């Protein structure tokens, strides 16, 4: 049967073997060249990638190149033959999905190369969080585009589906309106994801208050954001929330933050001594960054004075620890040294004549 097919297209066995050999040889040569370049790059001293990075590309590169080689051989014979048409269709599908697989690997490798230059664990990690946020969202967008295009191209290789596609294009106006109404929330969330990637009202590891909850931005996806609450819960918020509604971002420009502690004491409290004690306590605490140290009387009512201790810290977790420490020790100082200055209720009794 193979001999009849070869003679039908005026190809000798030697010519067919020569074409097949050349195609496979070129594919194998390109495969080894690609893997060799990746291996050498991953072993460079100035490179941050894993030494075995090239191993992740072996399968997609090999399958892509061999399927392309087979497609070239089939094209050289003639794809109109009844025996080669199914094989050519299968080969085309393999090429589409293997090339898509390879593109996804390349996208992830590019993101890793860029992000390895930044460390989000640094104290001053504002720039790193900006880059991480942008590239993680861009990566998801590009991978989604590659997958959608691959599926669309693969489906269009089937004759029946291609005819359906032509019919759908003819009624695209009505279908578009129906689809627009049905998917308007999904489209709004996706567009909000694009807007977050560009404008960056939030970034990864930002400290935010959303829906009355205090936490960190853990994940930013195209349609939703994951906020890690301080007590380890996870708050799932649509991306549109950060575009349409107000929220607090404590690390928008810098991680530095001011912390406040309110103490309520009697009118007889020695404010200057309490101010000196605050300074002493701050100097002994590692969470204080040395910038802001202030104690003021911010309010007074018929029973107590409201004292506000203001202090600064490098980030919100440090500020929290510092506030707890100062509140506890200021109360302890009043208890031990000026117990008469603790809040009290006075009752004056007059003797009747």
pLDDT tens sequence across 264-295: 998 889 999 999 999 999 999 998 988 889 99
Architecture of domain 185-249: Roll (2.30)
Which residues of the chain are in CATH 3.30.70.100 domains?
Answer: 257-341
Report pLDDT for 328: 94
Q: What class, spelled out in words, does domain 257-341 have in CATH?
A: alpha beta
175: pLDDT strictly greater than 80 = no
Q: Is the dihedral of CA 327, 330, 334, 335 positive or negative?
A: positive
Residue 335 near residue 263 (C-beta atoms within 8 A): no
**If you average pLDDT over each of 40-49, 88-97, 244-253, 301-310, which comes out highest?**
301-310
For 110-144, how does the pLDDT look when each residue is reduced to its tens digit (9 = 90+)? 787 777 777 666 666 666 777 777 777 778 878 88
| Nearest-angstrom CA–CA distance, 67 and 91 | 6
Q: Is 83 helix (H, G, I), strand (E, B) or coil?
A: coil
Mean pLDDT score, 157-176: 56
> 24 exposed, middle or buried (CB, 10 Å; 0-12, 13-18, 19+)?
middle
Lowest mean pLDDT across 9-23, 50-64, 253-267:
9-23
Task: Report yes or no on whether pTM surpasses 0.85.
Answer: no
For 229-268, how does the pLDDT look when each residue is reduced to its tens digit (9 = 90+)? 888 899 999 888 888 888 888 777 777 788 889 999 988 8
First to last CA, the chain: 133
Mean pLDDT score, 174-183: 52
Strands 305-313 and 257-265: antiparallel
- Identify which has the larger pLDDT, 339 or 193: 339
For 323-343, how does the pLDDT look when each residue is reduced to its tens digit (9 = 90+)? 999 999 999 999 999 888 888
Listed residue (159, 126, 104) closest to 315, CA to CA: 126
Which residues of the chain are in CATH 2.30.30.60 domains?
Answer: 185-249
């Amino acid at each position: 049967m193979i001999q009849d097919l070869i003679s039908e297209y005026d190809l000798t066995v030697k010519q067919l073997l020569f074409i097949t050999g050349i195609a496979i040889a070129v594919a194998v040569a390109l495969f080894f060249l690609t893997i060799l370049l990746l291996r050498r790059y991953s072993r460079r001293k100035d490179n941050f990638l894993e030494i075995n990075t090239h191993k992740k590309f072996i399968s997609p590169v090999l399958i892509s190149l061999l399927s392309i080689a087979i497609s070239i051989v089939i094209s050289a014979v003639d794809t109109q033959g009844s025996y080669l048409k199914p094989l050519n269709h299968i080969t085309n599908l393999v090429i589409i999905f293997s090339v898509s697989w390879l593109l996804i690997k390349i996208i992830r490798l590019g993101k890793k190369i860029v992000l390895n230059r930044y460390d989000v664990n640094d104290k001053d990690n504002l720039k790193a969080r900006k880059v991480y946020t942008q590239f993680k969202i861009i990566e998801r967008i590009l991978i989604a585009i590659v997958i959608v295009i691959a599926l669309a191209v693969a489906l269009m290789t089937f004759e029946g589906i291609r005819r359906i596609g032509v019919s759908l294009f003819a009624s695209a106006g009505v279908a578009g309106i129906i689809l627009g109404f049905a998917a308007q929330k999904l489209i709004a969330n996706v567009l909000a994801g694009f807007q977050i990637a560009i404008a960056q009202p939030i970034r990864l590891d930002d400290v935010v208050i959303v829906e009355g909850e205090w936490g960190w931005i853990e994940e930013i996806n195209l349609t939703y954001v994951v906020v890690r609450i301080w007590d380890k819960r996870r708050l799932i918020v649509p991306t549109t929330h950060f575009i349409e509604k107000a929220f607090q971002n404590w690390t928008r420009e810098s991680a530095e933050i001011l912390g406040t502690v309110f103490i309520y004491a009697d009118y007889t409290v020695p404010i200057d001594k309490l101010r000196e004690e605050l300074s002493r306590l701050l100097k002994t605490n590692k969470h204080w960054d040395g910038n802001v140290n202030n104690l003021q009387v911010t309010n007074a009512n018929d029973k107590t004075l409201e004292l506000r201790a203001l202090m600064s810290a490098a980030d919100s977790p440090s500020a929290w620890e510092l506030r707890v420490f100062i509140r506890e020790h200021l109360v302890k100082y009043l208890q031990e040294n000026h117990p008469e200055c603790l809040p009290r209720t006075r009752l004056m009794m007059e003797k009747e004549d």
